[in-house]
Structure 1
């Protein structure tokens, strides 16, 4: 599959994710925004509901925590160090990334199947395909079918894109209003329009822009399934046959599969690079996710590759990062009666209180086993006792991707939405825009209510809209043309 994904991880070593943006959390009110970031990954019958989105704006006690933690992210000491490290890592990973990504979205039989089937249905079967399409969308349960992944995961609903979204009642209403599914007639029209746009002498790019960029993740699941049943070829294979090149082609292909499958493929390709695993992609996808998110991703990974994600991490990741990723993937203890004072002391003795070096295993255990609310209490008590923001401790004691991963765990606990806004800034910051990282972020977080919050957080952080920022960095603003922002 294909050339569309040959540049898929061109700018992935984003060590500066956590360090370029050292002032990102200066707003006193941000810490409370993320406590108990809830998981909204419901099953197939809950596509149209978001009532489980929990309010994570905690009580008045968190306000005091926010006041004391307002400087938690201000460590300017490591900003330059991270910039230098990021620049050093970006180029060497970009050179070889494309070789390993040439087969990004290929199942074992997809290439041959695509060639054989596309000819079979080109002309004489199109009439029958239309009938198949009508049948394909009549059953509402088919909306949630997701080929090989759906049997294991039922339906990720693409509400996974809301990962850990903290919400207000107004946002809940926005979620409900954006959750509407397409009618059978609308699905049929979209499927036919895409089919016609990708046949003949040229590709009608405007049709792809209007449909792929104008549908919600749930609606795209309907279209993906309807297309496969109507023409016996997957939408992504059909698009790849058109050889749509560059970032626009990669974006189209990423939108032509469910969000969960996209995450799974990105993880697999990040692990199986010729020049070594792309740690930044794993950090971006795995860090800060809820336990249910992680469970679904693990199941999806096994369904697609018949291999446990943990096994591949053990094989391709080494050292402290391997230990950290395995801890993230492990089942949590859920001890509501944790001893905050004891955790604070353990972290101090493992870090600043340790005369020589540091004890990483204690940081890993506490940061991966505690809930967001517990972590915020730990950060507050740590700063209160030792007069130092906890994030500055992470920056002073650790380095490289391990430092970025730990810092992002802490940032996600404080304010998940703001962290995502930082990741967007990191994707367009500097001399070269990291196009594939930007596309990954947009595709994964394009769920309308979530994107609305991200754009608001971005504007508050940087004083410029996300659309303006991306437009200023890209010669051809494909993402804007795709209506995703």
Structure 2
């Protein structure tokens, strides 16, 4: 079965030559999630050199062993009262004050989560010093940003430009594009908070009232805190007829336990419903148990690689070596082990069997369970390549899936993150993502998408 957008492994997984950046100051791929694998001889994980796509067996160009990439402003600006505080970038302990209130809307907008004092997944206090990096192997999301916060003068400059763009009769769309299309999520949330303080208006609501169509959809998406953004798409994945398991997988795989917790809190605040129960009511069979395990947010975040060959043998015995399949073993290992450990397991499976776990999944599973497991495997082994395939899927064939295109552009518009995806897209399809999107869209909608993607 093909991945979404005909996503197929090109050669052996992971890609063998070159690697992603980071260059200096770029997005720091974290040790836990996209760690370096497979082990070289002697059991060492290779350090990355260079900055080319696709990644070497080591993954996403992580730092040498024993080091952790420095993080200046690792994520979104955080103040008490929202998602911040806690482990590394400021999460509150699960269930304690600091997250969304259970059910209720305190000073929010109809159909929206309560206004936050920070943008989402971790980060330093607004205007404060950068949060120090977590210890080696600590839980860091692929979405954690290394971009430092704006200085107050820069924030005020953006606030003034946005105010002038929406002042009086008419709207200067080019100014909205210039500001909101050029700023990563952290900076946009800084500007939104300052705008509220300066003019007593919610920037998201103001932009929504001044714009229309897909253009408005993109801008409002950029101004939506990430946990709320993810919660809304989780809802879209399960509402109506049928369930979009690929979208659920995209949202839930490769996230820290705290991020899963934040998404569930945001979902509860938006819809006054329980995300786990809603997913369970829409999905059946083994896929239901698998997605429930992902929503539990109970993955090992120590970053340690235990004994990968023990898990390799367990997966082999649960699948290819027996008549029938022990689905619970696949769920237990893939939903509880650290991302770094799983990288070693995937490499070990090739050593044990001569083929990838991906191939084994295709042999042993079908239907929803196969689709979710294949999506998980792709996201664990080459997330930029998988997201690039979704971009292509949104524009492939007759017409454009604008919902998907908007979601992908908004969700990944951190420039360092988008850089990885653009490299993966070029490697996979032999053309620039920027040019592909330009040819499929028009007007202000095209302009804001191209600003988010960048050349």
TM-score by length of 2: 0.69
Counterparts in 2 of 1:199 and 1:398: CA distance versus 1, 3 Å: farther
Post-superposition shift, 1:51? Answer: 8.1
Q: Distance in 2 between matches of 1:165 and 1:240?
A: 26
Post-superposition shift, 1:197? Answer: 2.7
Post-superposition shift, 1:483? Answer: 4.3
Q: Distance in 1 between matches of 2:119 and 2:389?
A: 33
2:418 is paired with a residue whose SS is helix
**Residue number in structure 2 paired with 1:221:** 189
**Residue number in structure 2 paired with 1:462:** 429
2:344 is paired with a residue whose SS is helix
**Residue number in structure 1 paired with 2:90:** none
Cα deviation code 1:69-124 (max 9, x no counterpart): 99xxxxxxxxxxxxxxxxxxxxxxxxxxxxxxxxxxx979766899xxxxxxxxxx
1:442 is paired with a residue whose SS is helix
Please say if residues 391 and 407 of structure 1, whose CA atoms lie closer than 8 Å, have aligned partners that are also in contact.
yes
**Residue number in structure 2 paired with 1:353:** 321
The answer on 1:23 being equivalent to 2:14 is no
Give 1:316's match in structure 2, choosing from 282, 287, 297.
Answer: 282
Give 1:266's match in structure 2, choosing from 208, 229, 233.
Answer: 233
The answer on 1:183 being equivalent to 2:149 is no
Please say if residues 33 and 57 of structure 1, whose CA atoms lie closer than 8 Å, have aligned partners that are also in contact.
no
**Residue number in structure 1 paired with 2:134:** none
Please say if residues 182 and 222 of structure 1, whose CA atoms lie closer than 8 Å, have aligned partners that are also in contact.
no
Post-superposition shift, 1:148? Answer: 4.1
Post-superposition shift, 1:244? Answer: 0.8
Cα deviation code 1:22-42 (max 9, x no counterpart): 1346576559969xx9xxxxx
Please say if residues 236 and 256 of structure 1, whose CA atoms lie closer than 8 Å, have aligned partners that are also in contact.
yes
Give 1:301's match in structure 2, choosing from 267, 273, 293.
Answer: 267
Counterparts in 2 of 1:260 and 1:243: CA distance versus 1, 3 Å: same
**Residue number in structure 1 paired with 2:40:** 60
Q: Distance in 2 between matches of 1:231 and 1:193?
A: 13
Counterparts in 2 of 1:231 and 1:17: CA distance versus 1, 3 Å: farther
Q: Distance in 2 between matches of 1:152 and 1:462?
A: 33
TM-score by length of 1: 0.65
Counterparts in 2 of 1:182 and 1:213: CA distance versus 1, 3 Å: farther
Post-superposition shift, 1:307? Answer: 4.4
The answer on 1:164 being equivalent to 2:142 is yes
Counterparts in 2 of 1:474 and 1:30: CA distance versus 1, 3 Å: farther
Please say if residues 149 and 300 of structure 1, whose CA atoms lie closer than 8 Å, have aligned partners that are also in contact.
no
Please say if residues 294 and 329 of structure 1, whose CA atoms lie closer than 8 Å, have aligned partners that are also in contact.
yes
1:60 is paired with a residue whose SS is coil
Please say if residues 149 and 303 of structure 1, whose CA atoms lie closer than 8 Å, have aligned partners that are also in contact.
no
Please say if residues 141 and 256 of structure 2, whose CA atoms lie closer than 8 Å, have aligned partners that are also in contact.
yes
**What stretches of structure 2 of length at least 5 have no aligned partner?**
47-54, 60-103, 132-139
Q: Distance in 2 between matches of 1:318 and 1:231?
A: 49
The answer on 1:411 being equivalent to 2:375 is no
Give 2:165's match in structure 1, choosing from 175, 178, 197.
Answer: 197
Counterparts in 2 of 1:209 and 1:323: CA distance versus 1, 3 Å: same
Counterparts in 2 of 1:233 and 1:320: CA distance versus 1, 3 Å: farther
**Residue number in structure 2 paired with 1:325:** 291
**Residue number in structure 2 paired with 1:390:** 357
The answer on 1:211 being equivalent to 2:191 is no
**Residue number in structure 2 paired with 1:446:** 413
Counterparts in 2 of 1:303 and 1:153: CA distance versus 1, 3 Å: farther
Q: Distance in 2 between matches of 1:33 and 1:481?
A: 25
Cα deviation code 1:329-358 (max 9, x no counterpart): 221356857444443333233323333x43
Give 1:379's match in structure 2, choosing from 346, 350, 355.
Answer: 346
Q: Distance in 2 between matches of 1:181 and 1:25?
A: 42
Please say if residues 260 and 297 of structure 1, whose CA atoms lie closer than 8 Å, have aligned partners that are also in contact.
yes
Post-superposition shift, 1:281? Answer: 2.3
Q: Which has the greater radius of gyration?
A: 1
Q: Distance in 2 between matches of 1:379 and 1:32?
A: 19
Cα deviation code 1:200-239 (max 9, x no counterpart): 4432211111111022211101111122233333222222
- Superposition pairs of residues 69-108 of structure 1, within 5 angstroms: none
The answer on 1:430 being equivalent to 2:397 is yes
Please say if residues 15 and 56 of structure 2, whose CA atoms lie closer than 8 Å, have aligned partners that are also in contact.
yes
Counterparts in 2 of 1:484 and 1:392: CA distance versus 1, 3 Å: same
Counterparts in 2 of 1:29 and 1:310: CA distance versus 1, 3 Å: same
**What stretches of structure 1 of length at least 5 have no aligned partner?**
1-14, 38-47, 71-105, 115-145, 167-174
